[in-house]
Amino acid sequence: MSKRYRLFFIAVAGLILSGASAPPESDQNAENSQTENEISEALGRIERAISNIEIPTDENPACDPGEDNRNSDLCAQWKAADSAREAASYAWAGLLVGIVGTAMLIWTFLEQRRTSRAQLRAYIAVDAVTLYLNPETGEAVADLQINNTGQTPAFHTVWAGNIRIADDGQIERDLAVTSREQAQGIGRPTETAVSNGRPANATIYSNEPLTQEQIDAGVRGEKALYVFGYVWYEDAFGKKRVTEFCFRAYEVPPSSPKVNDPVEMRWYMAPFHNNAT
């Protein structure tokens, strides 16, 4: 196609020059000869310029993968498609990072709230104070102290428990199969609030009278006296909680000198049934 263009331009230029340069037959032969030489040189320059023109042989060249051909529309289209795909990939990556960041923020907030509530909530602990043994009826009464070691009050607090003289293994087995719900209703039936720094006094009664045989076995060290039970309460965040307690006496006294006289007792926490939620 470049050869056809070259011949066409040469023919046109020849016609123009031949029509425009028909000199009259006169003394200007020398000048005409010079003009013809100039025309020949001009035609040569035109021919060389036309020969240097690069005319594409294909209107839409192919575009191989990885090729960057600026004269190819197909390459331009692939380049635009690649750019759109990369933009979409970056957008998905940004969305994923945003989701992970939001999840971490939520987790951090929940952990901070949990830690804050754990620091502020009520914690109920129980201490054994005194014991009363009625020598006539065998009734046993234990005075306890309900302490709130937390930062906020314990609401709707109730407690229940029992006093028994039995083998160590038997008490542990009985408590293991006794549910917390079975013990409710034995103790304080009405609810109270226990504030931090202001302990509440609690009283636990033996469900059954202690027999003289049991007391004698405890005095001889064959059995042990236990005070055990539960404290149910609700913390400031509305969560219901429970504290389990179990105290074992170092020794069992024969009985109170009088019905209303407390017995001096030494207690320690049993290795079981001491837990809290």
Q: Break the chain down into helix, strand, coil percent, rounded to 5.
A: 40, 25, 35
Name the residue among 160, 247, 157, 249 with its Cα closest to residue 199: 157
- pLDDT digits over 197-244, tens only? 888 888 888 888 888 888 888 888 888 899 999 999 999 999 999 999
Three-state DSSP string of 64-88: CCCCCCCCCHHHHHHHHHHHHHHHH
Please report, for residues 16, 22, 38, 40, the alpha-carbon distance to residue 31 in angstroms, rounded to integers and kept in the order given.
19, 12, 11, 14
What is this structure's pTM? 0.61
Secondary structure E strands in 26-118: none
Would you give the DSSP letter of residue 23? -
Are 187 and 242 contacting, i.e. CB atoms less than 8 angstroms apart?
A: no
pLDDT digits (tens, 9 = 90+) for 31-82: 666 676 777 777 777 777 666 665 555 555 666 665 566 556 666 666 777 7
Binned at pLDDT 50, 70 and 90, residue 179 comes out as low
Alpha-carbon distances of 97 from 6, 90, 93, rounded to whole Å: 63, 10, 6
CA angle 153, 155, 160 (to 5 degrees): 115
In this prediction, residue 257 carries a pLDDT of: 46
- Cβ within 8 Å of residue 17, ≥6 positions away: 39, 43
Q: Which residue has the tokens 């042990």?
A: 224
Phi, psi (5° rounding) for residue 196?
A: -65, 130
For all residues of the chain together, what is the average pLDDT? 77
Distance CA 195, CA 199 (A): 7
Residue with tokens 């009625």: 134
- Give the architecture-level CATH label for domain 124-276: Sandwich (2.60)
Q: Return the beta strands (E) in the chain as ranges.
A: 124-133, 140-148, 154-166, 192-194, 200-205, 224-234, 240-249, 267-269, 275-276
Q: What is the pLDDT of residue 185?
A: 47
Residues with Cβ within 8 Å of 142's Cβ and at least 6 positions away in sequence, in order, are 128, 129, 130, 131, 132, 161, 163, 203, 204, 227
User: What is the model's pLDDT at position 261?
Assistant: 63
Q: Return the domain boundaries, the chain.
A: 2-52, 124-276
**Count of CB atoms situated within 10 Å of the CB of 111:** 10
pLDDT at 174: 84
- Range from 72-86, 95-109, 119-133, 142-156 carrying the lowest mean pLDDT: 72-86
Q: Sign of dihedral through CA atoms 182, 188, 190, 191?
A: negative
DSSP lists the bridge partners of residue 162 as 228
Residue type, 39: I
Instruction: List the one residue out of 133, 131, 118 whose CA is nearest residue 239.
Output: 118
